Structure 1
């Protein structure tokens, strides 16, 4: 991407990942003069080493997994996946998207700089490019520098043997089919499934239980465990790692109790660390917390009034969804003088594994803790005409509403296309009207989305919320 050095702009964005890119685009569309600065690969981690290439691999894995139902559909033959070719395919997808990103920035007249940015003060950045240093003055600055992989002891990253999830996309996959997946969070849960469908013999090890930091319900987690088990993937949790020995033909993991596991290579899905190195935040009066995240208020402002922080560098959620939502909130606050609070809990969280899990908002326990009396609406895919036609009936829709106001407090969807369906719960302007919006919507038939409508209708009927959700003029008998 060609560098263009602006004299002064309304907005400077540091980082071109999903949050930074969206902030730059949205700012330009709203009439701001914008410069975006990237020190490495345009598109950030999400595009180059995260959700985009991983989603390409996930689609391949789902195709392979679906063949268990081929015979009943009159389909013959067997599919097998080659990870080396899948790696080449995802790289071509990434390059096409990156070119599209860059073309759109150019179309919107967003100025671009390739280099490392550091603060001179809360309105000024110094950008060190390959050949020179540039000074950029901006009325507002957004920090969107993301995060990098955490490598816990006793592990050390070793190319070809011990890979972080970032390294997995930097070079073609190592030889060998025995893979140890380390970690119990979203990344590890997704890759354990993906690797298993790409012909790898997966040993999945972690200190903690699967997805323990996310508020998915027990039925959702149980359904995912069953789906993974059906694919031969089981998490061994409660594991303590004593040693890691890298040798010429593999890696030996020493576990507590004198146990050992030998594999061809290891993939670490062990969390991420906010990336603030070299930004000189102190020069702008921007503070970080004890975990290294940039401090910000509910409007996403940092401790410097003209500087905002979005995405992984400031959010414990560390998802592209939160980065994108943060960008929208930050731009609105820059334009309107801080009129919108971010509600991170209302941003969808999605896991793409043997079964898709998606949720937002509160669960029953957190709803009660917040002083609500929760009402539950439920619909299963096992009777969905669409799901039956797809031979994929696992999963359900589960909605949590407030008994007094019929406000949508939270929702959970498990099963195929859960990551697409969850958006239906976030489109209304507020929680109070969300269920009414769904109830009055127009739906395609047959479609999985109809089960969201069914869950709303079940909730309204079961808990006496018909008038609040459907409006006046309804039958109130029995």
Structure 2
């Protein structure tokens, strides 16, 4: 590269095309910025190719399998049989179709796409290397780093195609043969795949060092309900497990556990977390630092040590969800375009678990509320009496709202049951948490629908804790 090489100049360069990077590129273009987006691997990143989208496709299939327990009572005869290989092919078709539309929309918005590996030359310039053509130099007034994360593989495991798979590898090739699968891990991904595999015809052994969903601030009722729903599907997490070694043969994979116990399975799926992906970016050339866990350092406006360079999503956010990446992209574009110094509270971003029961939450739980000086009030409504849920033969779960007893501000919420991931958005739409319950109470709802239970929970909370004037108005 010489100073005579052509330079592509733009208002905004986005490194990474996952949900955060894609959202930033689209919103930036819609707000009038000239945008370059750079991707070194598969367009759409992990979320589209190996994460949220294909997993949600499988989850829908798993829920259809679970629903057949009620088929006879609805006048439907005949059992369903799951085929994991064909389910894999279905998600691949879905992913390919989404990617095509994704790229078409970037083209429509006149976003410049560059295939290749980006690295910083200095705070203003990037070099994008591609094995089949000369490197492209990019000069950007603003840069967003959205390079995501990669699978964390703890000792003594190592990735072995067909035998020991990370969840990234799971979608790169059709699933291995064999019905005995060990799912390792206790976080969101492991909790989801243990359920999905069990419904798609696999015999699941679920092992982890830590208790289920330890890092998520869940209420005891939610945690207990999910544990019981998993147990009804024959799924029990064995936590507190130590892994001494693994032995891989042509016939099986043997897990050697502490206490001289050995388990034999056909293959292993590692749901053991992710780590930020920053390799090869040459962050030091731009003066950008990472913390002791590898996350890029940033301030409340998501700026790195260099004010015109931002970091969003898994590369900088410890929650490592697509929802956080999308919300952060919106925050950053607002700051770049209009100077909006909006602070994004990561707890106010919905977090969803797709398992034997769908579980969604945002905001504080009671302990957090008390620790920050609030006196929490709880409003509750169960789907057991919902006409919509009764008509669907799917009445498990509830809505649980947490408010401040003095002000009526909505501090947090938890929804457990079918469509929880869709319903949770109603808790985030009000302009602020002080008026959120009033927005819900004054809303107009379809009947019968599950959303009515959010209204019921808000009304119950107001009546029980003397917050009627604040929620319903004087």
Q: Same fold (TM over 0.5)?
A: yes
Indicate the SS of the match to 1:293. Answer: coil
What displacement does 1:221 show?
1.1
CA distance in 2: counterparts of 1:74 and 1:373, whole angstroms: 49
What displacement does 1:19 show?
0.3
Any idea what the Cα deviations from partners look like across 1:80-119, whole Å, max 9, x if unmatched? 1100000111000000000010000000000010000001
Indicate the SS of the match to 1:335. Answer: helix
CA distance in 1: counterparts of 2:400 and 2:199, whole angstroms: 29
The corresponding residue for 1:109 is 110
CA contact (8 A) 1:37 1:115 kept: yes
Any idea what the Cα deviations from partners look like across 1:252-301, whole Å, max 9, x if unmatched? 00001100100000000000010000001111111100000000111100
The corresponding residue for 1:272 is 274
The corresponding residue for 2:35 is 34
What displacement does 1:433 show?
1.1
What displacement does 1:451 show?
0.1
Indicate the SS of the match to 2:121. Answer: strand
Tell me the number of residue pairs that the alignment of Structure 1 and Structure 2 aligns: 468
CA distance in 2: counterparts of 1:383 and 1:442, whole angstroms: 20
The corresponding residue for 2:3 is none
CA distance in 2: counterparts of 1:253 and 1:13, whole angstroms: 42
The one of 201, 204, 207 equivalent to 1:202 is: 204
CA contact (8 A) 1:6 1:35 kept: no
CA distance in 2: counterparts of 1:239 and 1:399, whole angstroms: 35
Report 1:134-283 matches (<5 A). 134-283=136-285
Any idea what the Cα deviations from partners look like across 1:40-68, whole Å, max 9, x if unmatched? 00000000000000000000000000000
The corresponding residue for 1:69 is 70
Any idea what the Cα deviations from partners look like across 1:438-476, whole Å, max 9, x if unmatched? 11111000000000000000011111111111112xxxx
Single out whichever of 5-14 and 223-232 deviates more from structure 2. Answer: 5-14
CA distance in 1: counterparts of 2:56 and 2:206, whole angstroms: 20
Indicate the SS of the match to 1:282. Answer: helix
Return closer, same or farther for 1:88/1:6 CA change in 2, 3 Å cut-off.
farther
What displacement does 1:241 show?
0.5
CA distance in 2: counterparts of 1:35 and 1:430, whole angstroms: 34
What displacement does 1:405 show?
1.4
Any idea what the Cα deviations from partners look like across 1:307-361, whole Å, max 9, x if unmatched? 0000000000000000000100010111122421111110000000010010000
Superposition misfits of 4+ residues, deviation over 2 angstroms: none
CA contact (8 A) 1:6 1:111 kept: no
CA distance in 2: counterparts of 1:7 and 1:16, whole angstroms: 19
CA distance in 2: counterparts of 1:353 and 1:364, whole angstroms: 24
What displacement does 1:6 show?
7.0
CA distance in 1: counterparts of 2:25 and 2:210, whole angstroms: 38
- Whether 1:122 aligns to 2:127 is no
The corresponding residue for 1:47 is 48
CA distance in 1: counterparts of 2:377 and 2:451, whole angstroms: 21
Structure 1 residue ranges without an equivalent (≥5): 473-478
CA distance in 2: counterparts of 1:129 and 1:332, whole angstroms: 32
The corresponding residue for 1:475 is none
Report 1:392-403 matches (<5 A). 392-403=394-405
Any idea what the Cα deviations from partners look like across 1:146-169, whole Å, max 9, x if unmatched? 000000000010000000000000
Q: Over aligned residue pairs, what C-alpha RMSD do you find?
A: 0.8
The corresponding residue for 1:79 is 80
CA distance in 2: counterparts of 1:129 and 1:431, whole angstroms: 47
CA distance in 2: counterparts of 1:129 and 1:255, whole angstroms: 44
The one of 462, 466, 473 equivalent to 2:468 is: 466
The corresponding residue for 1:8 is 9
What displacement does 1:121 show?
1.4
Single out whichever of 334-343 and 51-60 deviates more from structure 2. Answer: 334-343
What displacement does 1:232 show?
1.1
CA distance in 2: counterparts of 1:326 and 1:6, whole angstroms: 29
Structure 2 residue ranges without an equivalent (≥5): 1-5
Indicate the SS of the match to 1:366. Answer: helix
What displacement does 1:7 show?
2.3
- Whether 1:88 aligns to 2:89 is yes
Any idea what the Cα deviations from partners look like across 1:225-245, whole Å, max 9, x if unmatched? 111111111111110001100
Report 1:228-377 matches (<5 A). 228-377=230-379
